[in-house]
Structure 1
Amino acid sequence: MGFKDFWQRHFSSSDEKIVSPGFVLRVGSVGLVLFFLTYFLFSWTMETVIHNRKEVIAPDIVGKPSSSALQTLSEMNLAMKIEGYEFNESVPIGTVLRQVPGAGSTVREGKIVRVVFSQGGESVFIPNLIGLPLRNAELLLRQRQLMLGEKSESYSLKAEKGTVLSQDPRPELSVSKNEMVHVVVSAGLPPAGIVMLPDFRQKKSDEAQQWASQYNVPLVLNEDASSLFPGGTIIDQHPLPDVVVSAGAKVTLTVSSRKGSASSEKEFRVHYEVSQSGSQRHIRVVALGKSGDREIFNGLRDPGSKIDLSVPYGGAEKVRIFVNGILVEERPVR
């Protein structure tokens, strides 16, 4: 039977749009046979390929860091898939906690080993305790799920008794929960006979020289011509304030040697009022310009106190104010 006869028999009936049921059945049967034949051929091929792969023993990668675990699996022609991460204080971050299949299982090369990694202990940020009464500092640590560690005392000219002067670790550091934070607390003013270094920053060098003469302390003056402050203003000191000055010890001051006077230079003013609530705060004021950043104030201030600074422009473009290490305000210099 030729193609023409085939066409006329199945498609050229009185109703040209109707295909004979027998033809549909035969075509469907052939298609079904071809489908199953293809499926079994594919399955047989894949089974042959898989079983031709070498069997290996899954290695133990639990407790290994990610790079070492991946290298171990690669050497055995195995693959890795990360299933997730879990907090675990006793296992370092990035270490394998679990694996599937487990160590010792017989697998074929190319097998995917699913792993879960440790994220270490849950992390928290250390708050800034400087300027807080010890009781408040301890409560704040508890709120952050941290613990108060060793407490030592030091005399202070600027902080009330019981106020935190310094801390270790430093503020804003990320640590694990229940980490110890050690503090140094003010013991109040020093007794007679103990000489402590005042905070001379942003004061005139004449004031420091008068103090040094009174207590017979040698001064070393270093000049800084790039300072924003008028000539004769102390911009840094070593040792830092509140350090006990032993007999014969030298105090080094960095003094502005900027040319010109306050009357001949254009200045901008910085005014900031410390919040009435809470306790002492650590205030830091920084001027930013094309030549870099310049610290123009750094010290503890009581609640409700005011800070007023007159600073030569000196290329300053904006001022940033930090309270307890946190940026609270940024102003353009006008």
Structure 2
Amino acid sequence: MIKKLPRLLIYIVIFFVVMGGSAYLSLRFLFGSADTVTAPDLVGKDVVYVLQTLSAMGLNTKVAGMRYHPTIPENSVVSQDPEPGREIKKDRDVRIILSSGPETLSMPSLVGSDLRRARIWIEDNGMNLAWITRVYDDALPDTILAQEPLPPDSVARGAEVRLLVSQGKRPKAMIMPDFSGLNPEDAMLLAERWGFKVNDVRAVNKVDQPPGVVVDQYPAMGYRILEGQGIELTVNRPKPNDNQSIGRSQGPGFVSFRVPPGFLKSHMELKVSVGGGLQVLYDEYVSPGTRLWFLLPDKDGEFFLFRDGRIIKQSREIFFYGRLKK
């Protein structure tokens, strides 16, 4: 009997420990939850709503900072800590970051500047170039004439910018002259005098037409054409004689080359091999996109066209007739 007493005491102790733990957990479950609340979703809510809501829940409001936001209004919540849905004890801080609204800047005056500079400013400042309207004006081409928004309005980053841009003076309208029967050099001179751009000169072989003269043109004679508009000429090129050596040209002629687009000028050179050496016929720095017409002298030799020191065209054959056209 005496030996069984310690074992009985152990059972009694274990019983009370288990019962005490169960009672503690039950009381904590029933009454302890009254000291915790679920964090509400405050993002997008204005600060007055936040203060009222957190105060009613027994929580403290702590503004941790301000931040620009493109869509959330000023003095509304951008973010919060703890996150919505988390359990937190009463009388704890809820940290919020408020919106300062969209970031704004003062719109400068772009009027009078060129379009390229305006594009750079618009892109660097996060603006959106919505549209460009071009009109004839005495100002240089690509000069900005008007803008919206107006300076010095405050505008949000990402706002649309609209520009009115000059496309230069209104070109004169005239009647297309007749180039037929002219030799190529006279035709090029006439086109230059009238203010036309010769975009292309084609060679054909027509036995029923005089050799070495213009036999066709576009636009046709009598059509309305604007000053500076491009035209095309077709020249009747005679076949070489059977006894003529291959590559030997007949009379003066020209080659055409368009400088590739880009940002920097190209160093263009035209040279002809004469007497074992190279004679320079043309040596200029040319803007991107320019079409060059090179008049080749009546010489038997090989012609080399260089761009920035590299050969890009080499020929013993003269393709067309004409003169240099910048």
Larger Rg: 2
TM-score (normalised: structure 1) = 0.36
TM-score (norm 2): 0.36
